[in-house]
Structure 1
Amino acid sequence: MRRISVIGGGLAGLTAAITAAEAGARVTLYEAHHTVGGRARTADAPYRTNEGPHALYYRGPHWTWLKRRHLLGPLAPIPPLEGSRFRFRREGRLRKVPPGAMLRLVRRREAPVDRDFHGWAEEIAGEAGARAAAHYSAVAIFHHDPGSLSAAFVQERLRRTTALPPEAHYPAGGWGSVVDRMTSMAWNLGVRIEIGSRVAELPRGGPVVVATSLPAARALLGDPSLTWHSGRTALLDLAVRQRRGDAFVVSDLDAPGWVERFSAGDASLAPAGEQLIQSQVPVAPGENKAVGIARAEELLDLGYPGWRDRTVWRREALAAGRTGAVDPPGSTWRDRPGVDRGDGVYLAGDQVAAPGVLSEVAFASAIEAVRLALPEGRPAAAA
């Protein structure tokens, strides 16, 4: 049996380990923390907040990969759009529909790679429509200025996030339930999982898949070229006492920002009588967490009246460089750090050269890494 080592036990690492074991390899997975899952971990009850990706996009490559292995599990029902109180902040007020000009950009021909989104979109939808579309797309970008990024990059995410029926789905019980099923499958396939094992040197005796963040991979491999653009996002999680009329989602079209009541579709995420609300507001370089939290509170004031008096639990964080890759004008996913690093070393994660939206990049790069590392096993992306 061919030996292969996987460093990192997040979504990319678990995907690589399972794919390699299915191809007949003897796999050892090293995870520095005492639990696997990486940013896909879900906090323990009573408030089951996700620490990483919040949605699983239908039709993405990882959807098929998980479903065929019975790893997808039950999904929380999505509240019907009619009556779900999906709201948009526009010109300082809550509205029920986005500007029609914004939606024209979804139906438009493929956007150019070498132009910034705002400049391209303004010619089609006007300045207000371009700004609203850029800010709405931030839910899948986590960047303070999506309009400055490649038009093709932003348009793809705009299409995915505005699709009807909605592409975004939520694993019941949070992402941790998916991680648990992936971990169990890895064990059953014979993967050796060593938790609490921080790797300082590459293991010998076979190919290695480095499925860590780019900064960690850069330090481990001593390769200063392992960098790419990402965002900084202020995160505010709340549990509030239930109240009729609370919004399901508030999408900020005046600036990038998103607030969602996750327990609307999955009551198991919070105790009875309480609602779990998670907010993400991108912040610019030079801005601190407090700036983003203040903007999140403005959205909460609009969509969740009286939330301060109803709050029973609160948590704040700043996600810096942990929000996936963003592509500036003139670049695509192919320009990011390549999967094959030479000498039997392969890279996987959400900021490397693989297609997809958010966590889809981690799945796609992990499968590609194993395909290159074990060509005789021929692991298939959707098999």
Structure 2
Amino acid sequence: MHRARTQDRTRVTVVGGGFAGLTAAITAAESGAEVTVHEAHRTLGGRARTADGPYLTNDGPHALYNGGPHWTWLKQRGLLGPMAPLPPAEGMRLRLHRNGTLHRVPPFAMLRLTRRTAESAPVDTDFLTWATEQVGAEGARAAAHYVGVALFHHDPGSLSARFVQERFRRATALPPEAHYPRGGWGNLVERMADHAWSMGVRIETGSRIGPDELPDDHPVIVATTLSAARRILDDPSLTWPSGRTMLIDLALRTRKGDPFVVSDLDAPGWIERFTAQDRTLAPEGESLVQGQVPIAPDESKADGTARAERLLDAGFPGWRERVVWRRESVSNGRTGAVDPVGTTWRDRPAIDRGNGIYLAGDQVAAPGLLTEVSFNSGIEAATLAIRTKRLDLKRA
């Protein structure tokens, strides 16, 4: 990569060492900037952290979509690394929970909806209303619940039709766009951090930055959750709807015939056996099962747990007797942006906050699906920061 001469280098501070922050740091360093990353935790990765063994879990079923720009960006820099392969045909058991029983194929009406482009769906109409007009009530409800895996939201049908349809099409694409870094997201984060170090990026972990500690003589990119950015920047306007979901992780003694995925079409919910494609995630003879069940603001963790267990009962008979390890948590407002009726990603909090402050993360004004929002905003924030600083220097 071309790098600017030392005397011309711009300084950039990045607050947050997750996927967005590391993307911003690498982008700024490639432009010749002198970059420092401050991460409040002792480890990098944000929500892309992978737990220490023996169960290599992530905070929810993150995925890399090969239809997105970040796939190419990572690959060009040698950062993509090995991906966990899809299970062989005999292990590729997708089960759909509908009307209380398991099915191998979705309703035909739901499949018909995959033929509608995202552009054909209106922004100012909710998804369920629009989809019902397209394929009928049954197919519309099934599609809304199925796409919950990419939204972490309890009522996808109430969101903007354009927003949901884009994600529905990508979540149902064949061959699948979703891929998982082998060994968990932590390996990808480690490769990105090593690359940043090799470019001269200074990374400080255990370094929590407060409102009074932000430098005012060079650009700052705040690459944190929106709630953390609200505190750091003392800006109450930094809000946007997100999801609330109950996450469940299980290690089960392996049993032949267990499905790869169980998707609930009666309500949003998703259970996935991650060791079907990556045996390194759990000890030999055990399966790592992860699931997410979106819950409404007035629902409790227990409500989500009960729904997850009903889905497990349907897809993994006898799972209770096979449990070796179990963990549950609720992720609230930490699952990426969702766009209500009448809004698009352009209406979310702007990346450029003025006065040399920029935002990056999964709830800001950038396009894409899940991690792609963090990636796109990280690149945009770094690009704007460098460009604006250099224009200011020319004017001085």
Contact in 1 for aligned 2:60/2:290 (Cα 8 Å): no
The residue type equivalent to 1:36 in the other structure is L
Give the Cα–Cα distance (whole angstroms) in 1 for the partners of residues 175 and 115 of structure 2.
Answer: 15
What TM-score comes out, normalization by structure 1 length?
Answer: 0.97
Shift of 1:298: 0.7
Contact in 2 for aligned 1:240/1:307 (Cα 8 Å): yes
Match of 2:183 among 157, 160, 173: 173
Match of 2:257 among 230, 245, 257: 245
Q: Deviations over 1:277-305 (max 9, x none)?
A: 00100000111111111101111111111
What TM-score comes out, normalization by structure 2 length?
Answer: 0.94
Give the Cα–Cα distance (whole angstroms) in 1 for the partners of residues 257 and 90 of structure 2.
Answer: 13
Partner secondary structure for residue 293 of structure 2: strand
Residue of structure 1 in register with 2:243 after alignment: 231
| Alignment of structure 1 residues 190-269 onto 2, 5 Å | 190-200=200-210, 201-269=213-281
Q: Deviations over 1:117-149 (max 9, x none)?
A: 000001111111100000000010000000000
Match of 1:151 among 161, 186, 194: 161
Residue of structure 2 in register with 1:341 after alignment: 353
Q: Which piece of structure 1 moves more, 199-208 or 185-194?
A: 199-208
Match of 2:25 among 17, 22, 35: 17
Partner secondary structure for residue 322 of structure 1: strand
The residue type equivalent to 1:140 in the other structure is A
Give the Cα–Cα distance (whole angstroms) in 2 for the partners of residues 158 and 338 of structure 1.
Answer: 26
The residue type equivalent to 1:22 in the other structure is E
The residue type equivalent to 1:281 in the other structure is V
Give the Cα–Cα distance (whole angstroms) in 2 for the partners of residues 216 and 5 of structure 1.
Answer: 16
Shift of 1:203: 2.1
Residue of structure 2 in register with 1:288 after alignment: 300
Q: Deviations over 1:274-333 (max 9, x none)?
A: 000001000001111111111011111111111100000000000000000000111000
Shift of 1:61: 1.4
**81 and 135 in structure 1: CA distance in 2 versus 1, 3 angstrom threshold:** farther
Give the Cα–Cα distance (whole angstroms) in 1 for the partners of residues 388 and 237 of structure 2.
Answer: 30
Shift of 1:205: 2.6
Give the Cα–Cα distance (whole angstroms) in 2 for the partners of residues 231 and 152 of structure 1.
Answer: 18
Shift of 1:53: 5.1
Give the Cα–Cα distance (whole angstroms) in 1 for the partners of residues 276 and 52 of structure 2.
Answer: 19
What is the percent sequence identity of the aligned residues?
A: 69
**307 and 293 in structure 1: CA distance in 2 versus 1, 3 angstrom threshold:** same
Give the Cα–Cα distance (whole angstroms) in 2 for the partners of residues 42 and 31 of structure 1.
Answer: 16
Residue of structure 2 in register with 1:381 after alignment: none
Partner secondary structure for residue 336 of structure 2: coil
Contact in 2 for aligned 1:41/1:52 (Cα 8 Å): no
1:58 to 2:66 alignment: yes
Q: Deviations over 1:95-134 (max 9, x none)?
A: 0000010121121242111100000001111111100000
Contact in 1 for aligned 2:61/2:291 (Cα 8 Å): no
1:370 to 2:382 alignment: yes
**276 and 83 in structure 1: CA distance in 2 versus 1, 3 angstrom threshold:** closer
Residue of structure 2 in register with 1:141 after alignment: 151
Q: Deviations over 1:201-242 (max 9, x none)?
A: 312331000001111111111111100000100001000001
Match of 1:318 among 315, 327, 330: 330
Partner secondary structure for residue 71 of structure 1: coil
Q: Deviations over 1:153-180 (max 9, x none)?
A: 0000000010000000010001001000
Contact in 2 for aligned 1:237/1:278 (Cα 8 Å): yes
**180 and 361 in structure 1: CA distance in 2 versus 1, 3 angstrom threshold:** same
Give the Cα–Cα distance (whole angstroms) in 2 for the partners of residues 80 and 130 of structure 1.
Answer: 30
Give the Cα–Cα distance (whole angstroms) in 1 for the partners of residues 108 and 389 of structure 2.
Answer: 50
Give the Cα–Cα distance (whole angstroms) in 2 for the partners of residues 182 and 251 of structure 1.
Answer: 32
1:44 to 2:58 alignment: no
Residue of structure 2 in register with 1:73 after alignment: 81
Partner secondary structure for residue 321 of structure 1: strand
Contact in 1 for aligned 2:92/2:259 (Cα 8 Å): yes
Partner secondary structure for residue 37 of structure 2: strand
- Show structure 1 runs of 4+ deviating over 6 A: none
CA RMSD of aligned residues (A): 1.2
Give the Cα–Cα distance (whole angstroms) in 2 for the partners of residues 224 and 47 of structure 1.
Answer: 38
Contact in 2 for aligned 1:23/1:377 (Cα 8 Å): no
Gaps in structure 1 of 5+ consecutive residues:
379-383
The residue type equivalent to 2:237 in the other structure is S
The residue type equivalent to 2:31 in the other structure is A
Residue of structure 1 in register with 2:129 after alignment: 119
